[in-house]
Amino acid sequence: MAPGDGNLSAVLKKKDELVLEDTPVPQPGKNEVQVQMHAVGICGSDVHYWTHGAIGDFIVRKPMILGHESSGIVSAVGEGVTHLKVGDRIAIEPGIPCRTCGFCKEGRYNLCPEMSFCATPPIDGSLRRYYCHAADFCYKLPDHVSLEEGALLEPLSVGVHACRRSGVTLGSKVLVCGAGPIGLVCLLTAKAMGAATVGITDIAENRLEMAKKLGANFTFKVDTKDGKEIARRIHSTMGCAADVTIECSGAPSSVQTGIYSTKSGGVLVLVGMGPAEITIPIIDASVREVDIRGIFRYANCYPTALAMIASGKVDAKPLITHHFPLAKTLEAFEVAKTGAGGAVKVIIHCNE
């Protein structure tokens, strides 16, 4: 398909109104590339914007194209682009910072106050046939890495950032709370970074089964909101408290479990986004010197995520459970929302 043949796009008009319509085919500006989109994963944030119309202070006030877990093929290059050419297969890091503020210069560009992030209001995303992006945030894929794996670099980068922030290293004993897509990529990343033991919790048995297949040493079915009780079971099964706990669900009771499950002097990293305010056993964390750290997306993680996939250290392909063409985007979102058929990661193919 040539760029003049239309640009079918998944447009969120407002809460509960997701439509497919043609939008203008964008042309690359200076230091940009035009990408013929191929694989776009559905993220929980995409579903949340669709069903709720907002995430925190990010509110859908005008129509917005969804999608940010993406890959494609360069179809045109703008002025100044030298490291990419037409035909290159690429993964797209969806956030573009200002590059000049203090956070950017320190290398923590994920905290840039001027960040433009795909499919975060009011910025359009990449779930369409053609899209333009800053070339320096596009990463060429080796021939043996598929475009579907390229789309998975986005969630995998969250796992890389979480494991770096928590200090996962050779021999670490790690607990992951929540076996959704992000919890599973944290599991994969922790194992790749040398964790000796990784346990994982969830309320759904099918997700725990997936975690076992991906290498979890222990799985824990959460059947109570009593954080201390779940932590007791975890300690009994793992034979110790966790050096590092990575909380990926956002559920208040799971955050409490995370604190109780982490050893004195250990680290709890909060990845999942739950209520704005929750009650936690802060004195327990304080007197045992459990460090509580947050993460926001990622920074400087795409090259590492790509290296893990390309080297074979991480096989993320089993995460992809469902495939849909762009024309069936609404059906794809329903599957992603309900988890029908054991859905973990749903991929939309934009040019099939």
Instruction: Kindly report, residue by residue over 145-156, the tens digit of the pLDDT.
Output: 999 999 999 999
- pLDDT (0 to 100) of residue 142: 98
SS3 272: coil
Instruction: Tell me the pTM.
Output: 0.96
Spatial neighbors of 286 by CB under 8 A, at least 6 apart, are none
Rounded Cα distance, 149 and 68, in Å: 14
Residue 34 burial (CB count, 10 A): 21
Residue 2 binned pLDDT confidence (cut-offs 50, 70, 90): very low
Instruction: Kindly report, residue by residue over 165-195, the tens digit of the pLDDT.
Output: 999 999 999 999 999 999 999 999 999 999 9
- pLDDT (0 to 100) of residue 45: 96
Considering only residues 39 and 56, tell me which one the structure prediction assigns the higher pLDDT.
39
DSSP string, 116-171: EETTSTTS--S-BSEEEEEGGGEEEPPTTS-HHHHHHHHHHHHHHHHHHHHT--TT
CA proximity to 70, closest of 157, 1, 2, 3: 157
Residue 5 binned pLDDT confidence (cut-offs 50, 70, 90): low
